[in-house]
């Protein structure tokens, strides 16, 4: 793999499959190889880390992250082509995937990037909710406002809606049971909620809003290798190869989850927690997990998400749904 600056000559292509989108491997221009990974770099970082006063400049975009945007983009296209039809708003979405794969840091950041590049006349406002902070991007005035505290959650956006302003909300569930209020999104606004697969974070909101799931897979091995190449691009090839072997060994244990495989301390804590959970599990608890790894569904409210990862499969009516699959180190064989 090599690192190149600028936009690729050809990116991924996705095709409609029923009510969702999937990568289309059959469309590729002769001689123009698709990229494995795109890296968006922002000197100011991304909202996911602003709440922690950290500075993460890089946003990793693979075909799964691009797929999320293509789905939201399709919703926005239908919205803009409605010609002001009364009551028409884009679909509400809930983005679900394994914790630590980049739903917030990658997909949430990439959605923000793309939404900010949409036509300012058709979509003048974008709001990013995370924890007790709200970042309001006014594309017309090219300003960003930060609001603190829960009390301003709905009032700020509602006041914009009451004035006839259109916009889109990215609601990042940063804490357990941090479900959006009944007032979100307001009239004339679209919204995507980003959450791990814990129904307490979104079940009631989905029921009220009629939101549709977007299920996000973990990155592939080649995606992770491309991340390693980028992170170590300043080092000699031999050192890059050594770093990849370390990351690959950790990935074989916990799965392709960037939060853990790129941080040795988090990796060690994850493995210890996983083994402790399995060692303390009773036979009746283990019985609940016997379908995992063989395509069986798991009660989403009972899942210990550090034992498994989310895998998207084709569902009924040409849509998609997710199942849980064990990571290698934690299969409860007792």
Condensed to tens digits (0 to 9), the pLDDT of residues 147-184 reads 887 655 578 888 889 898 999 999 999 777 788 888 89
Is 323 part of a structural domain of the chain? no
Q: 177 vs 131, which has greater pLDDT?
A: 131
- Residue 102 above 70 pLDDT? yes
Q: Is the dihedral of CA 136, 44, 74, 221 positive or negative?
A: negative
Question: How far apart (Å, rounded) are the C-alpha atoms in residues 238 and 233?
Answer: 11
Q: Which domain holds residue 165?
A: 14-216
Q: How confident is the model at residue 318 (pLDDT cuts 50, 70, 90)?
A: very low
Question: Residue 163 is encoded by which pair of tokens?
Answer: 């004035």
List alpha helices for 54-151, DSSP H: 63-80, 109-116
- % of the chain with per-residue pLDDT over 90: 44
pLDDT, residue 182, reads 83
Count of structural domains within the chain:
1
Is 39 part of a structural domain of the chain? yes
Is 91 part of a structural domain of the chain? yes
pLDDT, residue 86, reads 62
Is 289 part of a structural domain of the chain? no
Condensed to tens digits (0 to 9), the pLDDT of residues 34-56 reads 788 999 999 888 988 776 656 67
pLDDT, residue 147, reads 87
Q: How confident is the model at residue 296 (pLDDT cuts 50, 70, 90)?
A: very low
Condensed to tens digits (0 to 9), the pLDDT of residues 302-317 reads 556 567 788 887 665 5
C-alpha closest to that of 188 among 210, 168, 216, 215: 168
Condensed to tens digits (0 to 9), the pLDDT of residues 175-221 reads 777 888 888 999 889 999 999 888 888 889 999 999 999 999 999 99
Is 230 part of a structural domain of the chain? no
C-alpha closest to that of 256 among 57, 50, 60: 60
The model's pTM is 0.87
CA distances from 294 to 49, 98, 176, 258, 329 (A): 36, 18, 29, 24, 16
CATH number (domain holding residue 179): 3.40.50
CA distances from 137 to 142, 185, 214 (A): 7, 16, 24
> What does the mean pLDDT of the chain come to?
82
Is 303 part of a structural domain of the chain? no
Is 252 part of a structural domain of the chain? no
pLDDT, residue 287, reads 64
pLDDT, residue 89, reads 76
| E-only strand ranges, 80-142 | 92-97, 125-130, 133-138
Is 18 part of a structural domain of the chain? yes
Lowest mean pLDDT among 66-70, 150-154, 221-225, 293-297: 293-297
């Amino acid at each position: 793999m090599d690192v190149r600056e600028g936009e690729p000559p050809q990116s991924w292509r996705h095709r409609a499959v029923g009510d969702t989108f999937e990568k289309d491997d059959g469309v590729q221009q002769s001689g123009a190889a698709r990229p494995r990974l795109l890296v968006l770099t922002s000197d100011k970082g991304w909202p996911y880390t602003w709440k922690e006063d950290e500075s993460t400049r890089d946003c990793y975009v693979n075909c799964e992250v691009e797929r999320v945007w293509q789905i939201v983009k399709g919703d926005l296209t239908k919205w803009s082509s409605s010609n002001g039809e009364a009551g028409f708003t884009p679909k509400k979405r809930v983005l679900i995937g394994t914790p630590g794969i980049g739903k917030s840091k990658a997909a949430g950041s990439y959605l923000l990037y793309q939404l900010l590049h949409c036509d300012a006349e058709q979509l003048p406002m974008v709001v990013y909710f995370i924890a007790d902070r709200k970042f309001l991007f006014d594309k017309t005035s090219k300003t960003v406002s930060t609001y603190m505290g829960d009390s301003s959650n709905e009032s700020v956006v509602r006041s914009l809606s009451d004035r006839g302003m259109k916009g889109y909300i990215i609601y990042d569930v940063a804490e357990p049971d941090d479900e959006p209020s009944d007032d979100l999104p307001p009239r004339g606004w679209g919204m995507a909620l980003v959450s791990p697969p814990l129904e307490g974070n979104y079940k009631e909101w989905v029921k009220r809003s009629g939101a549709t799931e977007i299920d996000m897979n973990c990155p592939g091995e080649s995606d992770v290798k491309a991340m390693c190449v980028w992170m170590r691009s300043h080092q000699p090839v031999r050192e890059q190869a050594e770093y990849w072997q370390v990351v690959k060994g950790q990935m074989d244990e916990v799965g392709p989850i960037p939060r853990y495989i790129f941080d040795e301390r988090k990796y060690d804590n994850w493995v210890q927690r996983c083994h402790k959970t399995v060692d303390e599990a009773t036979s009746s608890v283990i019985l609940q997990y016997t379908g995992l790894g063989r395509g069986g569904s798991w009660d989403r409210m009972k899942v210990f998400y550090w034992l498994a990862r989310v895998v998207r499969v084709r569902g009924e009516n040409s849509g998609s749904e997710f199942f849980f699959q064990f990571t290698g180190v934690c299969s409860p064989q007792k």
